[in-house]
Amino acid sequence: MTETLIKVDLSKSPLENDMIHNRWHSDIPMVAKVKPGDDFILQCYDWTGGFIKNNDSADDIRDVDLTTVHYLSGPVEVEGAEPGDLLVVDFLDIGVLPGHEWGFNGFFSKTNGGGFLTDYFPSAQKSIWDIKGMFTSSRHIPGVNFAGLIHPGLIGCLPDPKMLADWNTREAALIATNPARVPGLANPPFAGTAHMGRMKGEARDAAAATGARTVPPREHGGNCDIKDLSRGARVYFPVYVKGAGLSVGDLHFSQGDGEITFCGAIEMPGFIHLGIHSLIKGGMAKYGVKNPIFKPSPIKPNYQDFLIFEGISVDDSGKQHYLDMFTAYQQACLNAINYLKKFGYSGAQAYSILGTAPVQGHISGIVDVPNACATLYLPTEIFDFDINPGADGPKPFNMNGIDMPISPDL
């Protein structure tokens, strides 16, 4: 029987569990040991450690302390792994925990985290998604249901001390260019809410003061939020410390490319069944690998028909940006939102669909000066009604007055 190496008790705070941590640091002690050929299960909290509840208020999204995230399970030591190796990991399965068959999606207040379209949706909002096997739907967003492409938002190996110092130096330099910006340009280390796993005493306090926040993706992988890094994928992780130190969390039942809603995909606690396929000794140099590489799952939701929205790097004020993919993708998303509003959705509901459904984002053109072109692929088969354009115009779906909870700043 496959052993569950890390268990979580969702009725208790993750701070009480010493197999959980919420910072990256070279010295965080390993909590379990495996060897190539082993497979094992790790249970995970949702990324907020259970702060977001299954109810009809967005107050928790508004009030969440973002210095506490992400709660990760690990690190797991892999026998024989050494710096410079590639650790080959198979994602054998991912799923919900019994009794917790739901997830959440939301957007943060602009003053507490913000998000990709925070200027258009500045207040905290939330949708709850019920998970039935491989399908999901939301009582806050009628007329849509889909199969999830389940994946961990965040997984990677511990950084070595030099890499950690480089992260902190370069992110501090970015913050210094505009320290007052809301939301901030990056998130510096913050000892106050650091959970350093099994570290104790002065060593723990010193590491908490310099441990990197888990928010951005970095060279080791980390919070990449790649929907296709899903159940069935095989990943090649760079190793930086002896034993590798693999940690994982931020499980997503489903997510659109870009995780544009930021809080986040369909977020859930759950389990991940991992297999250590092998180690490629010296693989980073042999293959010129700096960031993880991966092979996709043999299965994915079989949606074949899409309505594809284009966006270019000219913002809503008419300002011309130079080959700016951020602006172009924003425009593609806003075009899709404005379109879905014609069928009866609120802007918030449409935004939430783009953040949760298996929506594809593509870099379509990035050389035709001055405009980058992004495309957003919206699967049409996830809707209970026809969203295609036609001569008769859009036929609004009956939403029964349902909308997502909203909690403006106090």
Question: Which chain residues interact with Zn ion by CB under 5 A?
Answer: 47, 153, 250, 264
φ, ψ at 45 (rounded to 5°):
-70, 165
Q: Cα–Cα distance between 219 and 17 in angstroms, integer?
A: 27
- Which of 293, 319, 310, 321 lies closest to 363, judged by CA? 310
Smallest distance from Zn ion to CB 388, Å: 31
Q: Which is nearer to Zn ion, 351 or 383 (CB)?
A: 351
> Starting at the edge strand that comes first in sequence, how are the strands of the sheet with 3-6 ordered?
3-6, 39-44, 270-280, 86-95, 234-238, 293-295
Judge contact between 226 and 297, C-beta under 8 A: no
Q: Cα–Cα distance between 128 and 359 in angstroms, integer?
A: 18
Smallest distance from Zn ion to CB 385, Å: 29
Q: Which is nearer to Zn ion, 156 or 283 (CB)?
A: 156
Q: Which is nearer to Zn ion, 171 or 250 (CB)?
A: 250
Taking CA atoms, 367 is separated from 316, 319, 320, 329, 364, in Å, by 22, 19, 15, 15, 10
Residue in the shown chain whose Cβ atom is closest to Zn ion: 264
Smallest distance from Zn ion to CB 114, Å: 15
Judge contact between 39 and 91, C-beta under 8 A: no
Smallest distance from Zn ion to CB 313, Å: 27
Q: Which is nearer to Zn ion, 26 or 136 (CB)?
A: 136
Smallest distance from Zn ion to CB 7, Å: 21
Q: Which is nearer to Zn ion, 69 or 196 (CB)?
A: 69
Judge contact between 73 and 249, C-beta under 8 A: yes
Judge contact between 320 and 263, C-beta under 8 A: no
Q: Which is nearer to Zn ion, 77 or 250 (CB)?
A: 250
Smallest distance from Zn ion to CB 264, Å: 3
